[in-house]
Structure 1
Amino acid sequence: MKVLQFTVPVPIDKSIVVQKDVLPYFYPHLHRHQEVQLTWIQQGEGTLVADNNMHTFRSNEIFWLGANQPHIFKSDPSYFLPRSRKKIIALVIFFNPEGALSAFFNLPEIKQLKNFVQQRQTGFKVPAILNTVISGQMLRISSSAGVEQLMHFVELLRLLSGCPDITPLASGNRKATVSDHDGIRIGNIYNYIMQHYDKAITLEDAASQVHMTPHAFCRFFKKHTLHTFVSFLNEVRINEACKKLTDGNYDNIATVAYTCGFNSITNFNRVFKTVTGKSPSQYLNSYFHNVETN
């Protein structure tokens, strides 16, 4: 995998690109592009990696990704099985505030929206309480054209700028650029960890994937992800554990722990609380309480 630099095709007569994806699985490569991306997952589940963090995604969730933010929507392994009949459906809106829309964003009346876009370079997940409103506005944009579409787009930004309790998808200060060479290495590491998180992975195993010594690998990985290798691996494992727990397809918590690469329930409970701030049972109670109240 490589951090591929995309150029989203923009028709001459449009400054906003609307794309409907119906595919066997999401595009499987870490990539970035100059355009801000708003993705409504209409059908599908998996893991979103954005910069140095990962998040579970499910149907009817909406994500904002900043311009040039490396990301990948990694579909669950079941989507890649030979006889899988699963598919993903997503509605995506792209726009480049520095491109054809730059003059628009420099209007004094749009200053508040411009500030919002600039302050959300590390992306965010739209709060669930606003999913219906934001998805409805995205549908209006996709079904309109010309001035009407632009007006719906401005309203979308206005609605998003009023989102309460926005939590960034990525932490820390994101580097403005990542070289292709470093991007290839980061992509290979991400891919290796996400495919083998359920097995014993050593530092030497990961370093060998990018032909580096363990010491050089540690420095490189911390520089580009703001994580140690162990903390990132633990986040991948706990992220997968959270998906399994909330899906309900498990016999008990211990089964989830062992299928996510942990060799003891004690270690799993400790790491789970470190990553999420809750014990597995507390996390489950909180999750289902939020589902019921929403």
Structure 2
Amino acid sequence: MKAIFAKPPLGSRATFQVRKDNFDILDTKWHYHAEYELAYIHYPYGKRIAGNSMATFEDGDLVFYGPNLPHAWSHEFVAEQKANTFGVNEEPAHYAIVVHFSESCFGESFFTIPEMSVIQLILKKSTRGIVVHGESRKRIAKWMIQLPDNVGSKRVILLLQILEELSITKEYNLLSSTGYWDNLNGHDAVRMSSIYDYIIQHFTKEIALEEIAARAHISPSAFCRYFKARTKRTLKEFINDLRINYACQLLEENRHSITQICFEVGFNNISNFNRRFKEIKGITPQQYRANILSLSHTDSKRVV
């Protein structure tokens, strides 16, 4: 799953690109590009990768990615189930609406004027990847669905409405770590793509320094210096971040015991898992799950 530098095919008469992709099975290649991306994924269940974040999602995934943040979606374990859902002549039931735009799409200084200061802040936060939830997701999803069927000024207004909602809502989470994938030149991007591809495929197992260094065509000691200079983390710290982020998602799903999650994400004993989790998240896995369940209980009371 090597990362691909993708150049969205912007039309010659369009300031930004909007497209709707229909499909039966969700499976995008791990890629990155110089444009901002808004994506609404209408698919029952799958896995999302964004920078050093890996998580499962359910229908209506809504994300905002800044430039050059590697990302992908996959169907994971639902492929066979969904593939058997459709007849031979049936249309695909799932779709993604994707918007790509550059910071200069409305003019070099548009997003720097005083009236855009709050939107400028959310553009900066998007470099870590943003997933939106709650009522804000519903509002933005409605506008995203309208985008492909509108042209001209109406399409521009819809995009600005979405960006305004993103700038004022508190119903979102940041996905990747601070400083991830910063300041890479073209050669770095290709090399880091290979490294990251290997980590994503093997992070739940032991990763041998010698083997991953060989993929980068440098010695183990040079690899350690190279990797930390570009990710602001040692290889071990980076892998632990990825494992703990994945563990958080599994804890939120509440389908497995904490011991099961410990081994699922790649730790070989529960005490080490608890220690690393608290080191990164500030609380224990038990406390994290209790907080999530408490929030869910509060929300259900409000609904009633």
What is the TM-score with the length of structure 1 in the denominator? 0.82
What is the aligned partner in structure 1 of residue 86 from structure 2?
A: none
Change in CA separation of 1:111 and 1:172 when aligned onto 2, cut-off 3 Å: same
CA deviations on 1:3-40 (whole Å, 9 max, x unpaired) are 5332211223322322223443332223222x211112
Give, in whole Å, the separation in 2 of the partners of 1:174 and 1:140.
33
Give the Å deviation of 1:281: 1.6
CA deviations on 1:98-146 (whole Å, 9 max, x unpaired) are 24x2168279585446634653451433353411111112122233222
Give, in whole Å, the separation in 1 of the partners of 2:200 and 2:39.
22
What is the aligned partner in structure 2 of residue 73 from structure 1?
A: 72
**Residues 1:153 and 2:159 are matched in the alignment:** yes
Indicate the SS of the match to 2:63. Answer: strand
Structure 2, unaligned stretches of length 5 or more?
Answer: 84-92, 300-304
Which of the numbers 87, 93, 99 marks the counterpart of 1:93?
Answer: 99
What is the aligned partner in structure 2 of residue 279 from structure 1?
A: 284
Change in CA separation of 1:19 and 1:277 when aligned onto 2, cut-off 3 Å: farther
Report percent identity of matched pairs.
26
Give the Å deviation of 1:165: 7.1
What is the aligned partner in structure 2 of residue 136 from structure 1?
A: 142
Q: Counterparts in 2 of 1:173-192, with a 5 A limit?
A: 173=179, 177-192=183-198
Structure 1, unaligned stretches of length 5 or more?
Answer: none
Q: Counterparts in 2 of 1:1-294, with a 5 A limit?
A: 2-23=2-23, 24-33=25-34, 35-43=35-43, 44-50=45-51, 53-59=52-58, 60-66=60-66, 68-75=67-74, 77-78=76-77, 83=80, 85=82, 89-99=95-105, 101-102=106-107, 105=110, 110-112=115-117, 115-116=120-121, 118-122=123-127, 123-164=129-170, 168-173=174-179, 177-250=183-256, 252-294=257-299
What is the aligned partner in structure 1 of residue 302 from structure 2?
A: none
Change in CA separation of 1:222 and 1:74 when aligned onto 2, cut-off 3 Å: farther
The aligned length equals: 286
CA deviations on 1:192-212 (whole Å, 9 max, x unpaired) are 122122222232232222222
Indicate the SS of the match to 1:255. Answer: helix
Change in CA separation of 1:173 and 1:280 when aligned onto 2, cut-off 3 Å: closer
CA deviations on 1:150-177 (whole Å, 9 max, x unpaired) are 2222222222221237664444456765
Instruction: Check conservation: 1:16, 1:94, Cα contact below 8 A.
Output: yes
Instruction: Check conservation: 2:53, 2:246, Cα contact below 8 A.
Output: no
Indicate the SS of the match to 1:227. Answer: coil
Instruction: Check conservation: 1:104, 1:110, Cα contact below 8 A.
Output: no
Give, in whole Å, the separation in 1 of the partners of 2:261 and 2:111.
51
Q: Residue 240 of structure 2 aligns to which amino acid in structure 1? A: N
Indicate the SS of the match to 1:215. Answer: helix
Indicate the SS of the match to 1:45. Answer: strand
Indicate the SS of the match to 2:48. Answer: strand
| Farther off after superposition, 213-222 or 283-292 | 283-292
Give the Å deviation of 1:242: 2.8
CA deviations on 1:17-66 (whole Å, 9 max, x unpaired) are 22223443332223222x2111123224323223xx42525122322112
Instruction: Check conservation: 1:2, 1:183, Cα contact below 8 A.
Output: no
What is the aligned partner in structure 1 of residue 89 from structure 2?
A: none
Instruction: Check conservation: 2:47, 2:56, Cα contact below 8 A.
Output: yes
Change in CA separation of 1:282 and 1:107 when aligned onto 2, cut-off 3 Å: closer
Indicate the SS of the match to 1:78. Answer: helix
Q: Residue 119 of structure 1 aligns to which amino acid in structure 2? A: K
Q: Residue 193 of structure 2 aligns to which amino acid in structure 1? A: G
Indicate the SS of the match to 1:139. Answer: helix
Indicate the SS of the match to 2:210. Answer: helix
Instruction: Check conservation: 1:113, 1:157, Cα contact below 8 A.
Output: no
| Farther off after superposition, 12-21 or 275-284 | 12-21
Instruction: Check conservation: 1:31, 1:70, Cα contact below 8 A.
Output: yes
Give, in whole Å, the separation in 2 of the partners of 1:291 and 1:233.
29
Change in CA separation of 1:114 and 1:239 when aligned onto 2, cut-off 3 Å: closer
Give, in whole Å, the separation in 1 of the partners of 2:246 and 2:182.
29
Instruction: Check conservation: 1:38, 1:65, Cα contact below 8 A.
Output: yes
Give the Å deviation of 1:76: 6.0
